[in-house]
Amino acid sequence: MKLTGECFCGEIAYEIDGKVFDARSCHCSRCRKAFSSQASSYALVNASEFRWSRGEEKLSTYTGQHGFGLQFCKKCGSTLSGIFENKVHGVTLGCLNEDPEVEIGRHIFVGSKASWEKLPDGVVQYQEHAPENA
């Protein structure tokens, strides 16, 4: 499976020569600020299957504590990927062009979700971060 993604203005694009996996939605206060939304929806990717196909020089990178960070377009602000120790480890689901054939498997950090957000009954929720094999 080959997936492609791009930012809102289209100046940055990437390809994934494989599948994304372990899709989740994070509801922590940091993700709300970074994504200007109630949560961030993203999935992991094997770094060896990911490559920037256009506009990599237009990326801006923010790395926070513990080596985790985000990469986004300098022009339009679209958050495209999550990084760990300077390697892409995940992509935002909203920037994919094709159906990634995944479903959100868990909602994490719901203990700090926005008070105005209502999650549907029956979704898998963790008050903080879920174990990677959950």
- For residue 118, is it within any domain? no
Higher-pLDDT residue of 25 and 74 is 74
pLDDT at 132: 58
Q: How many domains does the chain have?
A: 1
pLDDT, one tens digit per residue, over 42-51 is 999 999 999 9
Q: Which domain holds residue 15?
A: 2-112
DSSP state of 103: -
pLDDT, one tens digit per residue, over 56-113 is 999 999 998 778 899 999 999 999 999 988 899 999 999 999 999 999 888 888 888 8
Stated pTM of the model: 0.85
Q: Which CATH number does the domain housing residue 93 bear?
A: 2.170.150.70
How much helix, strand and coil, in percent to the nearest 5, is found in the chain? Answer: 15, 40, 45
- For residue 126, is it within any domain? no
- For residue 134, is it within any domain? no
- For residue 121, is it within any domain? no
CA dihedral 62, 65, 69, 75 (to 10 degrees): -20
Higher-pLDDT residue of 131 and 117 is 117
* Dihedral sign (CA 46, 48, 54, 55): positive
- For residue 130, is it within any domain? no
How would you class 91 by CB atoms within 10 Å of its CB: exposed for 0-12, middle for 13-18, buried for 19 or more? buried
